[in-house]
Structures are given as structure tokens and as C-alpha cells.
Amino acid sequence: MAQMYPVLQSSKVITRYNGGEPILSKKDIPYEADCIFNAGVTKYRGKYVMAFRNDYRFDGVGSFEKCIIGLAFSEDGIHWEVQDKPFLTVEDMHSEEITKVYDPRLTVIEGKCYICFAVDTRHGLRGGIGVTEDFQSVEVLSMTVPDNRNMVLFPEKIDGKFVRLERPFPVYSRGGVDRFDIWMSKSYDMKYWGESELVMGVEDVPFANDKIGPGAPPIKTEAGWLTLFHTVDIDRTRGKNGWEAKWQKRYCAGVMLLDLKDPSKIIGMSRKPLIAPETSYEVDEGFRTNVVFPGGLILEEDGTVKIYYGASDTVECMATARVEDLIKLCSN
């Protein structure tokens, strides 16, 4: 059985926007919406773009009938103008197999905006990669076999190849429980992926006892590729909270630095969470509780970063930090 886990605190280097108030939530959406969270954010042609998850029509038990992706634009990365219709829905996937589309991540590479997303299918969870230039439609370039998701792309080719981080779910071969790790694959064309290798095992993270996965697409710094990941610890003594009947997990954001030339090599990582659930939105007000799920990291010209994260699967929040402080956290 998983151990009881200690209190975890966010690093002092981060500042939550408005003390942890959401930057996007249900009330901002001009169509049917309940939970707005786990967004991917990037800058494209001078504007901030956010693709967010929208779960709606609660079934009264533990999940939502609908799970789609919406789109918003912003001039400052804080105030958002939401498009009047959804961006990527189950119907857009043209497959009877697919039941949900969610957890988008955005990366601009060579002038095109790529979107990684997850889908639930009747035969397992898959990770998709699509591309858009007009944000009207998405051309799907590849889909993994089950079970794999949480994919994020590096913003440039390395040695002539596109590179992604990803998180397969090796249940059968990891003892029949969650022991999920971060992997990496490469591709010449975004379609065919290979050269897969392990980047970080869950056992390498002192504040995780369950699983880890990629979070925000990496940003390039002189010290290496800086990236955020999510971590999960389970504590069986945690009881019901939120709208869920039973929720014993806690999700935090971690930060690590990968080698510029060979990003399968970890240069360093923070041995403590970068963001742990602490505010009411993160801890006890949402559909779930105790969830901080990072999906976007933007480096500004003044050396600050904006960190975007979903709070308790219900709202989208943001925090800021100095990039050099994040690098410092990874230097042990």
C-alpha cells in the first residue's frame, strides 16, 4: 500500500497570479462549459494562445458526458478572449472509437502551431499530434497506440528530428499498479515516431509515489531545456472531497532541466515541488481536490516565466517566476 505523504509546499520562487485566482473558468466561456482546466499555452504571431479542456454535463456519479477543447487568445497572457465555438471536439476526430479529447499542449515549431492532445477511445488512451496555422481546423498527423498520452513537443528540431516527451502506462509490466514514467521519442516527420527511451522514472522524484508525466513543453535556456512535469502521490488515508466519491491522489508540478544536445539526459531537477496544491481552488473547491496540473511555460523577454496550470480539474490558474530561479532549483 502507498505510504502516507507529508505536507508539500510550493517553492518560494513562484508567485500565484492574484493569490491563486483563476485566469479562466466556466463563467468566461460563451458555450456550454463546466470545468475549464489543463490548458496548453503558447505565443503565436504576437498573441498568446490558449487551448483549454472543457468537461461538461456531469453524470452525477464521477465523470462528465462531454470532454472537448476550447480556444482563447490574449494580448497579455492573463486576460482572455474565448472563441465563440469549441476548437477540437470528439466529432472533429471522425472516429466512432473516440469518446473524449482533452489535455492540449501547444508548441510553435518553424512557424506552425502543433497541438498534442489525449483521447479516450473504446480500446485505450491515445496521444495525438495535430498542426494548425489558422486555428480554424487541426490536421491530425499522428496518434499513438494505447496507452500513451501527456505528450509535449520541443520547440525546435534536435539533430534534424522532432522530439517529444510522453508518458506510456506500463501497468502489466510495472507490478499491476500505477508506476508510470516519462519517456522520449523522435521523428523526422511528426508522423512516424521511434528511438524511444526512458527520461525519468517515478522513483527518481522524491515527492511522487505513484506516477509522473510531462507537463509544459520545454523552453530553451542557456543552461538546458527547462520543462515542467506533473507528479502524483497517493495517500490511502485521504477521503472524499470535491464532487468525486473517492480521491486519494495529489498532483504537484515539478521542474527539471534537460541537456540541450541530448534531452534524454537530465541535467538536474528540483527535489521539491515547484507548485503544490495550497489555495482553495487547488485544495478543496473543485471537481477533484489537491490537483495542480501544469501545461504551459512561457519565457518572457524580461526573464520572467508564466506558468499555466489546471487547479483541481475545475479552473485554469497562472503563476510567475524568474527563469534563473527555476534553473537554480534544478542545479542540485
**Interface residues toward ligand BMA, by CB under 6 A:** 38, 103, 251, 288, 291, 293, 310, 313
Q: Which CB, 48 or 102, lies closer to ligand BMA?
A: 102
Q: Which CB, 170 or 268, lies closer to ligand BMA?
A: 170
Nearest to 16 by CA among 256, 281, 254: 281
Query: How do 304-311 and 315-322 pair as beta strands?
Result: antiparallel
**Least distance (Å) from ligand BMA to the CB of residue 203?**
19
Nearest to 275 by CA among 262, 260, 290: 290
**Least distance (Å) from ligand BMA to the CB of residue 241?**
12
**Least distance (Å) from ligand BMA to the CB of residue 85?**
22
**Least distance (Å) from ligand BMA to the CB of residue 277?**
11
**Least distance (Å) from ligand BMA to the CB of residue 312?**
8
Chain position carrying cell 485566469: 23
Q: Which CB, 217 or 310, lies closer to ligand BMA?
A: 310
Q: Which CB, 186 or 211, lies closer to ligand BMA?
A: 211
Nearest to 162 by CA among 201, 218, 227: 218
Q: Which CB, 52 or 251, lies closer to ligand BMA?
A: 251
N-terminal to C-terminal alpha carbon distance within the chain: 30
- Residue 20, SS3? helix
One-letter amino acid at 228 equals L
**Least distance (Å) from ligand BMA to the CB of residue 37?**
7
CB 71 within 8 A of CB 142: no
**Least distance (Å) from ligand BMA to the CB of residue 143?**
18
**Whole-angstrom distance, CA of residue 55 vs CA of residue 52:** 10
Residue 284's Cβ-count burial label (10 Å; 0-12, 13-18, 19+) is middle
Alpha helices by DSSP H, the chain = 280-283, 323-329
**Whole-angstrom distance, CA of residue 162 vs CA of residue 158:** 6
Q: Which CB, 119 or 323, lies closer to ligand BMA?
A: 119
Residue partners of 311: CB distance under 8 A and separation at least 6: 20, 22, 37, 277, 279, 281, 282, 286, 291, 292, 293, 317
Q: Which CB, 28 or 210, lies closer to ligand BMA?
A: 210
Side-chain-facing half-sphere of 284: CA atoms under 13 Å: 5
Q: Which CB, 117 or 162, lies closer to ligand BMA?
A: 117
Q: By beta-carbon distance, which residue lies closest to ligand BMA?
A: 293
**Least distance (Å) from ligand BMA to the CB of residue 76?**
26
